[in-house]
Amino acid sequence: MRAVVDDATAEFHAFFERHYAELVRLAHLLTGDADGADDLAADALLALWDRWDRVRGAEYPAAYARGVVANMARSRIRSAVRERRRVTLFWSCRNEKTDDPDVPAVIDVQAALRGLPFCKRACVVLRHSFDLSEKDTAHTLGISVGTVKSQTSKGMAELYRRLDPAAGAGAGSA
C-alpha cells in the first residue's frame, strides 16, 4: 500500500526535521528532565500536527512551537509540584526525621536553573541558550519585551548568586 503525501504532510515533516532537536533542548532546559524532554517535544509536535493548518500559516511557526513547548513544560512542572506536595503531605505525617540530610556540595547550572521561577528560567534559557532576541523571546512566551528584559536580568542575577554564594554574601539583601 502506498502512502499519500500531500504538501501539508511534507511541510510538517520538514518542520519536524528542522526543529525537533531544538525543541528537545528547550524542553530539557526548561524542565531539567533530560529523559522527559524528548517526550515533551514529541507531545508538542503532535499538538502542532493536530493544528498544522493554522501553524503553517503563522508568521513564526518555530516561535509558535517554542511557545507550545514552554506551555507544556509549565503544565508538567505544575503537575510535578502538586505531586510533590501530596507526597510531602503524606510523609509529613510520619515521625521519622533525618537529622543530617545529604546535601550536594556543588550546585550545577541545571540545578540553579530549576530553582528559578518558570518565567525567569524560560527568559534566561531562550535568550542565552537559544540566542533569541528579546522580541522573539517575548513572542514565544506571550509576554512583553520589557518583561523579558526584567525577567532575564533578574534571572541571571539570581543564577550568579546561586552559583557563587560568596558573591552574594558580601552584598547584603535587596
121 close to 113: Cβ distance less than 8 angstroms: yes
CATH number of the domain at 106-165, out of 1.10.10.10, 3.30.2310.20, 3.40.50.300, 3.30.1280.10? 1.10.10.10
pLDDT digits 0-9 by tens, 138-160: 998 999 999 999 999 999 999 88
Q: CB atoms < 10 A from the CB of 64, how many?
A: 17
For CATH 1.10.1740, the residue range(s) in the chain are: 7-93
70 close to 26: Cβ distance less than 8 angstroms: yes
DSSP at 2: P
Q: Which fold has domain 7-93?
A: Rna Polymerase Sigma Factor; Chain: A (1.10.1740)
Question: What's the pTM value of the predicted model, to 2 decimals?
Answer: 0.57
pLDDT digits 0-9 by tens, 23-78: 999 999 999 888 899 999 999 999 999 999 888 888 899 999 999 999 999 988 88
For CATH 1.10.10.10, the residue range(s) in the chain are: 106-165
pLDDT digits 0-9 by tens, 84-107: 766 666 555 555 555 544 334 334
- For 46, the enclosing helix (H) or strand (E) is helix 34-50
